[in-house]
A and B are shown apart, each in its own frame.
Chain A
Amino acid sequence: MRCRVMTAVALAMLVVLLIPGAATAGQWADQEITGQVLGEKAQLYTYDLAVHPDIHTSFTLSHVYMEYNYHGIPFVEAGVYKGVGGGSHPIDTDHPRYYRACWDELTGYHEGDDSNVPAINTYKYYRVANQGYDLLTGKDIWAVYCNDMVTPVDTLYMWNMPTAHAVCGGECTGSGTVLKTHAIPDVNVRKQNGTSYAWNETNFPGTYKDLYYSSWTLTWPNSPDYQTFTASGTHP
């Protein structure tokens, strides 16, 4: 994964959750980004991270995902996972780890791991943010932050990804065992037309809830600001 460093930019945001705990949506409502940001960003907070001990078959994760096109690439994604990860240096971890992944049309799919791992039952966050365009390489710059909003863990130079919209969620493969997080979005969502909206039940009905699932399927309704997203799996 190619990396370098940069600063911050503007927004768009969503959420998802699969929770064992009873934290309320408003619990973290004061955790908004302050200061001027340009471009596009997505940010997710997680809380009460819990991991089933039997995950090994593939991976399970909670993530924020920024994509530009309508067919899947290019994208930049960051989150927490357990199971198989590490990209070209594969690992199979019993403990949740931060990861970031990207895929663009020129350089292909890349995945990276971060040694800074999130602790269970703590509040963590990750963010993907556009930081501009690099005339030297002809690429768009995207920074990935994991639990530190000042210094990115990675800066990705993406070919043909001038902007993006966010999708957040959780998913699992293989065993169907989920990594459970309570996740909430950043406070505001910005539409592509530049208008900002508060992320709440009024503006985005049905998308901002605490839910319990024994066997769960979570589907985001269609919206001009995010894509329909379906996560499915079986709660242990």
Chain B
Amino acid sequence: MKRSRRTPIIALGVCAAFFAAAAGLIASGQRATTAVASASETIVWLVPNGDATQDGNLKACISTPHGTNTIDLGQWQRAQAVSYADGITLSAWSTTQGASVAHLAPVSVSSRSVPAGPLVLRSAFYDQESKNIYYQEAESVVDIAVGVSAQTLSATHPLPTFAPDAIAGVPPIGFKGPTPDASVGTVEAFVSVQRHPLALVATGAAAGIVDLTDMKATPIAGFSSLYGAATGSDGNLYVAAWRSFEPSFTIRVLRIDPSNLQVVAETDTGLTPGTTDNITIMPWSNGAVVMIAQGNADSLRQYVWTVDANGMKPASELPAGTGLYMAPGDQDSVLLFGGPAVNRVSRFDIASGALTDVPELHAPAGSYVVAVQQ
């Protein structure tokens, strides 16, 4: 479809019970701070009331060495969790009730109810330096201070627009979607580089980076989609990028100079984006480790690479069903879990290529692990 104007209309209210249970306090929209335990060996899993695709009541469970909290998320809920060195950031959103975001750190739980309006919580990011949570709310990025006052925003950053890329922003003949035009797009990832929080944005017709300290926008020429970004151990920014209008264009991992946000290297994963389910990039060794999950539920595979200034090493293709997500493991390993792995967690040793089960991190049968902190 084509159109000349559009008005947002995603109504989202508040989901308070989620954090109420998590914090042990709570009323809708209130900040909550309470002890929840050490972040070590924290596991978050979801328990659906039915099969994997049923939208009945969904429960989230958070297990720490100090016990397990069960949170009734209600109907039509989605939840996502990301582990960081000092805690886990949880996002929950509903098709009808609203959304919330929280960070569960060793000393506190901080939560914020998200007001009505279009938002994107999937990329909620916890900056370990500033102790702030960043997420997109409508056409702005919002950041809240963890453990200070979750109800008081640290800042709201209206996002700049990106014009369609001259190459990657040209739709195919017969394209029946909305005509691409300048847009703020979706923040697909956040990273923090040299104390600068960066929002990595894709519109489908353009991709770019917004420095939230001065809101300067830097386009990534030749790309229109991106996901999964991290600051590597070498200080460079790594991000996966591709072209949404070219199904045969393979996913590239870009190495970006943090001083000027320019692409300095591009390596090819050899994978087209058509069946991608998830991409995760984390700092690793002298660069970063990249995980791409692709396929249908019954054939979902994970591919893992390491990349640094010397390029990308050949991918490790893991057995079907290993998982959907990736988190840091101990020593030279990463943890793989989620999706078809259901309640199981595996450890993948990158140096040796060994894949082993981690029974001590398993969740109860019938549940789905969404975050692991070890």
A-B interaction: yes
Nearest chain A CB to B338 CB, angstrom units: 7
Q: In the complex the two chains form, is B227's CB within 8 Å of A105's CB?
A: yes
Among B242-299, those with CB < 8 Å from A are: 242-247, 273-279, 296-297
Q: Are B174 and A139 in contact, with the CB atoms below 8 A? A: no
Give the total number of A-B pairs whose CB atoms are below 8 A apart.
206
In the assembly, what is the distance between CA of A81 and CA of B53, in Å? 32
Q: Give the contact stretch, choosing among A117-125, A127-135, A145-153, A178-186.
A: A127-135
Question: B6, A227: Cβ atoms under 8 Å?
Answer: yes
Given contacts A86-B174, A106-B277, A191-B11, contact A141 B2 (CB under 8 A): no
Alpha-carbon gap, A231 to B277, bound state (A): 34
Q: Which residues of B contact A231 (CB under 8 A)?
A: 2
B195 at the interface (CB under 8 A from A): no
Contact B227 A106, beta carbon cutoff 8 Å:
yes
What is the predominant secondary structure among interface residues of chain A facing chain B? loop
The reply on A61 being an interface residue by CB < 8 A is yes
CA distance in complex: A101, B245 (Å): 12
Q: Is A72 touching B55 in the complex (CB atoms < 8 A)?
A: no
Q: Using a CB-CB cutoff of 8 Å, which residues 128-184 of chain B contact chain A?
A: 138-139, 171-178, 180, 183-184
Is A227 touching B3 in the complex (CB atoms < 8 A)?
yes
Does B204 count as interface, using CB distance less than 8 angstroms?
A: yes
Q: For residue B28, which residues in chain A have a CB less than 8 angstroms away from its CB?
A: none
CB–CB B95/A130 < 8 A: yes
Distance (whole angstroms) from the CB of B66 to the closest CB of chain A: 27
CB contact list, B46-91 vs A, under 8 A: 46, 48, 52-55, 76, 78
* Cα-based distance from A107 to B184 in the complex (angstroms): 19
Chain A CB within 8 A of B308 CB: no
**Residue B340 CB within 8 A of the other chain:** yes
Q: What are the residues of chain B within 8 A of A191 when measuring CB–CB? A: 11
**Which A residues are CB-close (under 8 A) to B244?**
73, 103, 105, 108-109
User: A134: which of B53, B96, B184 is its contact (CB, 8 Å)?
Assistant: B53
Partner of A133, one of B78, B139, B188: B78
Q: How far is the CA of A86 from the CA of B173 in the complex (A)?
A: 10
Binding site for A on B (CB under 8 A): 1-13, 46, 48, 52-55, 76, 78, 93-96, 118, 120, 122, 138-139, 171-178, 180, 183-186, 188, 202-204, 225, 227, 242-247, 273-279, 296-297, 300, 324, 338-340, 368
Within 8 A of B (CB), among A67-124: 68-73, 75, 77, 79, 81, 83-88, 90, 99, 101, 103, 105-111
Let me know if B1 and A171 touch, CB within 8 A: yes
Chain A residues 46 to 71 lying within 8 A of chain B, measured CB to CB, are 58-59, 61, 63, 65, 68-71
Select which of A109, A136, A192 is within 8 A of B172 by beta carbon: A109
A236–B46 alpha-carbon span in the complex (Å) = 56
Q: A72-B178, A137-B297 are in contact. Are A105 and B10 (CB under 8 A)?
A: no
Bound CA–CA A87/B279 (angstroms): 25
Q: Closest B-chain residue to A131, C-beta based?
A: B53
Given A70-B6, A84-B174, A135-B339: A107 and B52 within 8 A (CB)? no
Please measure, in the bound complex, the distance between the C-alpha atom of A6 and the C-alpha atom of B53, giving whole angstroms. 9
Contact across chains for A192 and B11 when beta carbons are under 8 A apart:
yes
Question: Is B340's CB under 8 angstroms from A136's CB?
Answer: yes
Q: Give Cα A109–Cα B8 distance, bound, in whole angstroms.
A: 21
> How far in angstroms is the closest Cβ of chain A from B293?
8
* Residues on B with beta carbons closer than 8 Å to the beta carbon of A139: 277
Q: Which residue of B lies closest to A190 (CB)?
A: B96
CA distance A4 to B52 in the complex (A): 14
The answer on a CB contact under 8 Å between B175 and A109 is yes
Q: Is the CB of A137 within 8 A of B324?
A: yes
**3 nearest interchain CB pairs?**
A192-B11, A70-B8, A84-B174
Q: Check A224 against B9 for contact (C-beta < 8 Å).
A: yes
Whether the Cβ atoms of B120 and A72 lie closer than 8 Å is no
Could you say which of A26-34, A161-169, A201-209 contacts chain B? A161-169
Q: Are A70 and B139 in contact (CB under 8 A)?
A: yes
Question: Which residues of chain A come closer than 8 Å to B78, judged between CB atoms?
Answer: 133, 140, 162
Contact A90/B339 with A136-B300, A230-B4 known, Cβ cut-off 8 Å: no
Decide: B10 and A165 in contact? CB cutoff 8 A: yes
Contact A135 B3 (CB under 8 A): no
**A85 contacts across to B, CB distance below 8 A:** 174, 176
The answer to whether B55 touches A70, judged by C-beta atoms less than 8 angstroms apart, is: no
Q: Is the CB of B53 within 8 A of A58?
A: no
Indicate which residue in B13, B176, B203, B243 contacts A99 across the interface (CB closer than 8 Å): B176
14 pairs, A vs B, C-beta closer than 8 Å = A39-B55, A68-B10, A73-B204, A87-B172, A103-B177, A105-B188, A108-B225, A108-B245, A108-B273, A135-B52, A137-B300, A192-B12, A228-B6, A230-B5
- Taking a contact as CB atoms closer than 8 A, the residue among A88, A224, A229 that contacts B11 in the complex is A224
List the A residue with the shortest CB-CB distance to B176: A101
Contact at A71–B184, with CB atoms within 8 Å? yes
Evaluate contact between A109 and B186: CB separation under 8 angstroms.
Answer: no
Q: Are B10 and A70 within 8 A (Cβ)?
A: yes
A70-B8, A109-B175, A192-B11 known; A167-B1 Cβ under 8 A: yes
**What distance in Å separates the Cβ of A40 from its nearest Cβ neighbour in chain B?**
7
- Chain B residues lying within 8 Å of A70, measured Cβ to Cβ, are 6-8, 10, 118, 138-139
Using known A-B contacts A105-B202, A130-B95, A134-B53, determine if residue A88 contacts B185 with beta carbons closer than 8 Å: no
Contacts of A140 in B (CB 8 A): 78
CA distance A228 to B300 in the complex (A): 39
In the complex, A75 Cα to B177 Cα: how many Å?
8
Q: How far is the CA of A108 from the CA of B8 in the complex (A)?
A: 21
